[in-house]
A and B are shown apart, each in its own frame.
Chain A
Amino acid sequence: MLRALLMGLGLVVGLVGVRPAQAADQADLKVSVIHATKKAGPVDPALARIQSTLEKTFGGYTSFRELAKHKIELPLKKTKQIKLPNDQTAGFTYEGSVKDQEKIRLSIPRSRVDVSLRVPPRKVFYQAGLPYDGGILILALYLR
């Protein structure tokens, strides 16, 4: 058995010696587009589980409604855009992983803003503040 293990290891070594590694990765991004206002309103069932977090994070805003949800495959280094309700677009580029973090770039072209981030997977973060219909848009972002 040990011989088989060592031979297996040798074959792995051989493989490593012959072939350079190339990045070939992608990530999945979930984007929830939320409309927040300072008016009272019912809790959107789609957001029930994060309602208290939204209220805490976006103090002053009392009503949150999910307008759209996107699930995007992000191949490495390829930008994908989503259309926002305010006719702007938001772009996302997956830039690869660094140990336990994923690198992602978020851009809002019309506002000429570009942010490069390192995100541990499965951690929600937000982009907020674009005005919309008496309130603001919040993008809840979740990278897998």
Chain B
Amino acid sequence: MSDEEMLSRAERYFDGAMSAAEARTFEAELDRSPELMAELTDLQSGRDLLRSFMDEQVQGADFNGFFAAVQAQLPQPTPVAAPAAPVGTGGRVRAWWARYWTPVLVSAAAAAAVALLVGRLSAPAAVDDDDPVIAGGAVQVDEVTNEGPKTVLISMPVEDDEESSTVIWLLDDEDTAAGHEPADGEDPI
């Protein structure tokens, strides 16, 4: 078995990716193979190092205010203000206000809440993690080999325009010439 194969098998065992039968076979081999045992030990050491290191990074962080910062960027429900009672005319008018305006304002609040909910449901999702990131950027063309009759045109994204992308065009000659075929030797530009 090559070193590469041995490491791959050790990795699969180490990662718990072997079936029970495979694992039993592997464990039997472990007893006979110091090399396999060394591979496993090395994998464990590497993992322990990384975990220890990353634990330190997290433990040193301050999470005070973490949720508050998240919450500050979330949409808040629209508050419903209670109507101000008219001044000075006593309990009967206040009761009239309460009877008439309160149901109207509660309905308005409910409508606003529904509108908010509908808006949230129908708006395009801020992210769909299954979607590619459409931003343009640095696709670098290393080499183009064109032995056919088509013209290859590479259009590169516009700097700072996140929506523009790299396009590798394959064009027929009629797409590139403006209706005029240059004669042999004629400078087309």
Contacts and interface: CB of A to CB of B under 8 A. Distances in A.
Given A19-B3, A112-B147, A126-B168, 14 more contacts: A5-B48, A8-B45, A8-B48, A12-B49, A15-B38, A18-B3, A56-B163, A101-B140, A113-B146, A115-B144, A119-B140, A128-B167, A129-B171, A129-B175
Given A53-B165, A114-B145, A115-B143, A127 B170 contact: yes
Contacts of A9: 45, 49
Interface residues of B, number: 49
A123 interface: yes
Contacts of B175: 129
Interface in A1-37: 1, 4-5, 7-9, 11-12, 14-15, 18-19, 22, 24, 30
A30 B132 contact: yes
A124 B167 contact: no
Interface residues of A, number: 49
B140 A131 contact: no
B52 A11 contact: no
Given A53-B134, A126-B166, A130-B170, A5 B49 contact: yes
Contacts of B168: 106, 115, 125-128
Given A19-B7, A30-B132, A120-B138, A125 B165 contact: yes
A1 B55 CA distance: 14
A11 B134 CA distance: 43
Contacts of B152: 113, 115
B42 interface: yes
Per DSSP, are chain B's interface residues mostly helix, strand or loop, or mixed?
mixed
B135 interface: yes
A15 B42 contact: yes
B24 to A, nearest CB: 26
7 contacts: A103-B142, A112-B147, A116-B144, A123-B133, A123-B139, A125-B139, A127-B168
A116 B143 contact: yes
B45 A125 contact: no
Contacts, number: 137
A40 to B, nearest CB: 22
Contact of B41 (A11, A18, A123): A11
Interface of A: 1, 4-5, 7-9, 11-12, 14-15, 18-19, 22, 24, 30, 49-50, 52-53, 56-58, 101, 103, 106, 108, 110-120, 122-131, 140, 142
Question: A7, A9, A114: which has the most chain B beta carbons within 10 Å?
Answer: A114
B165 A124 contact: yes
Nearest to A48: B124
B148 interface: yes
B87 to A, nearest CB: 55
Nearest to A124: B132
A142 B134 CA distance: 9
A111 B148 contact: yes
Contacts of B39: 15
B133 A122 contact: yes
A68 to B, nearest CB: 16
